[in-house]
Amino acid sequence: MSAPVAVTRGDLLRALERIAGPGAVSVAEGDLLRFSSDYTENPASRPAVVVRVTLADQVPPILRLAQAEGTPVTPVLAASNVGGLCIPTSGGIVLDLSPMNRILEVNEADRFMVIEPGVTWQQVRDYLDARHPGLRFGYSLSPPDTTVLGNCLLDGLTNLSLRWGSMSDWLTALEAVLPTGERVRTGAWAWSQPPACRGPVPGLEGLFINWQGATGVVVKAAVAVQHNPALRERCFYFGRSAAQTFRFINAVARADLCDDLAGLTWPLGKMLFGEARPTWRDPAEPAVMVFVDYSSDDDEVFAAKGRAVERIARRFRTADEPLEGPVSITNLLALEPRFIKFADWPMRLDFMVDHPGGGLTWVGTYGPTSRWPEAVPACSELMSARGFPPAVVTRAMRGGHFGVLRMVTLFNKRDPAEIDRVRTLNAEIADLAWSFGFIPYKTPRWVVDRYRHRVDPGFAALAERVKRALDPAGIMNPGRWFF
């Protein structure tokens, strides 16, 4: 654990408490430890103080104070990131934004909602179901108590990303506080209009998307919501050949039929059934489970979509490479109730986050779906060769223009030798995925260091200039990207 920057002077702590309120500032050991690490193998680092923020108006004076003192600030939401991105590598202040958790507005006519940074996936689901059943939202695979805005700002994905892209594409406006304490609005908000769209103004929200909190603190966001069709089907196909199954997935993605289309390799199914570290598959068992989700308001269109998906499946069925299905989620639940975790979103995949070892890491990447048939078997073989289950998740994004290739590893965080093995494995996986054209998203610093020599020098220099212009004192989440 790295040594923190000292922020224990009584005058500074008292100043923070005057801003945030009584009881909002903590140097208690339990609070410091909670924000010192995440699920992953990334090294722990303890903050000097935790400040819980409840109001947007508290953020500017805190950042002005931190800048005057030269004190690092790490904005944190659920503290469960899988890239080490919220570990306070330079100590200082952890700015806990989770208490800012209000849904401020839902506009059903123009399909957007306005949220604070601490709003969770489950909170959105419950709110829309109760008050706006005609609307739906995309939900991440992360636990239901993690936050929507964190996923938006880190370009994450949801179960509706096939149709509408990664979560940054859903943002229509932001309100942010710069490290200097200045406030700025983007999108239609910049022109004092309802946040129905980003354009046609300059896209300054890009100064906060994928910057990992290094350019400021977003205190409010407008996010798109979608119409909720009356009819919806979730079903599964099961393929024995990984390469053939991913060719099937690509064909369905190109047909523009579905809301969601994901492939999960066999170890994830076995983990669901309680096998902690599956490393062997019977040849008669499916290699890949394909999740298909489609919807419509029209009975005929809905039925036609199901028939169209099945026509594509028939093209990929052979005696040597069978593709079984479709099996509806309703029928699957009748056979095996544990598949309830795939029945609806958001979901808590407890076999990933609640296992005895406590460690969860992945190399999650975005890249060309055309390389899936080669990349998935290659990454699976590498994981198996290193003694880890070849757990791979894929998802087609934005009509199949690109896709997710994510290699998931569970490990024992209390075993230093296993942590070293995981670090070595992740580096090898990243190199292999990179060779197929895939770039790690929610990018941890070790990935930046590993591939920095391949980054365009002009891009790196411009990013550095932007960082210096917005954060002249260098206080915001130090140690990210090139900074």
Residue 408 sits in a domain whose CATH number is: 3.40.462.10
Measure the CA dihedral 151/470/444/353, to 10°: -30
Q: Do residues 385 and 273 both lie within one domain?
A: yes
DSSP three-state, residue 163? helix
pLDDT of residue 3: 46
Task: Decide if 464 is inside a domain.
Answer: no
Q: Are 419 and 411 in contact (CB under 8 A)?
A: yes
Is there a domain that residue 462 lies in? no
Q: How far is CA 125 from CA 114, 283, 346, in A?
A: 14, 40, 8
Pair (294, 403) in one structural domain: yes
Domain CATH for 68: 3.30.43.10
Looking at the structure, do residues 63 and 167 belong to the same domain, yes or no? Answer: no
Cβ contacts of 224 within 8 Å, gap of 6 or more: 111, 112, 164, 170, 171, 172
| 91 and 136 together in one domain | no
Whole-model pTM: value is 0.93
**Residue 169: domain span:** 103-227
- Residues 195-224 pLDDT 10s: 999 889 999 999 999 999 999 999 999 999
Predicted confidence at residue 275, as pLDDT, reads: 85
Domain boundary among 211, 227, 243: 227
Task: Please tell me the predicted confidence (pLDDT) of residue 4.
Answer: 46
Please write the tens of the pLDDT for every residue from 409-440: 999 999 999 999 999 999 999 999 999 999 99
Whether residue 404 sits in one domain with residue 285: yes
Alpha helices in 404-475 (DSSP H): 416-435, 445-451, 457-470
What count of other Cβ atoms lies within 10 Å of the Cβ of residue 105?
Answer: 12
pLDDT of residue 2: 43
Span 161-202, pLDDT tens digits? 999 999 999 999 999 999 999 999 999 999 999 999 988 999
Looking at residue 332, its pLDDT comes to 84
Q: What is the pLDDT of residues 298-312, one digit of tens each?
A: 999 999 999 999 999
**Is residue 83 very low, low, confident or very high in pLDDT (cuts 50, 70, 90)?**
confident
- Confidence (pLDDT) at 9: 66
Distance in angstroms (rounded) separating the CA atoms of residues 360 and 411: 6
Q: Do 219 and 310 share a structural domain? A: no
By CB neighbour count within 10 A (0-12 exposed, 13-18 middle, 19+ buried), where does 407 fall? buried
Contact indicator for 223, 356 with CB cutoff of 8 Å: no
- Say if 454 falls within a structural domain: no
Please tell me whether residues 255 and 166 are part of one structural domain: no
Q: Is residue 453 part of a domain?
A: no
Q: Residue 51 and residue 314: Cα distance in Å, rounded?
A: 57
- Are both 303 and 278 inside the same structural domain? yes
Q: How confident is the model at residue 74 (pLDDT cuts 50, 70, 90)?
A: very high
One domain, residues 65 and 183: no
Q: Is the pLDDT of residue 70 over 90?
A: yes
User: Does residue 175 fall inside a structural domain?
Assistant: yes
pLDDT higher than threshold 50 for residue 59: yes
What is the residue-averaged pLDDT of the chain? 93
Q: Indicate the residue among 227, 255, 273 that finishes a domain.
A: 227
Same domain, 296 and 423: yes
**Residues 53 and 135 occupy one common structural domain:** no
Whether 180 and 64 have beta carbons less than 8 Å apart is answered as yes
User: 173: domain CATH number?
Assistant: 3.30.465.10
Say what the pLDDT of residue 139 is: 94
Structure confidence by residue, pLDDT tens digits, 333-381: 888 887 777 778 887 777 787 888 889 999 999 999 999 999 999 999 9
Cis peptide before 356 (omega within 30 of 0): no
Same domain for 337 and 434, yes or no, is yes
Looking at residues 386-411, what average pLDDT do you find? 96
What pLDDT, on the 0 to 100 scale, is given for residue 313? 96
User: What pLDDT is recorded for position 5?
Assistant: 46
Q: How many domains does the chain have?
A: 3
Predicted pLDDT of residue 257: 97
pLDDT tens-digit map of 306-332: 999 999 999 999 878 889 999 999 988
pLDDT score, position 342: 74
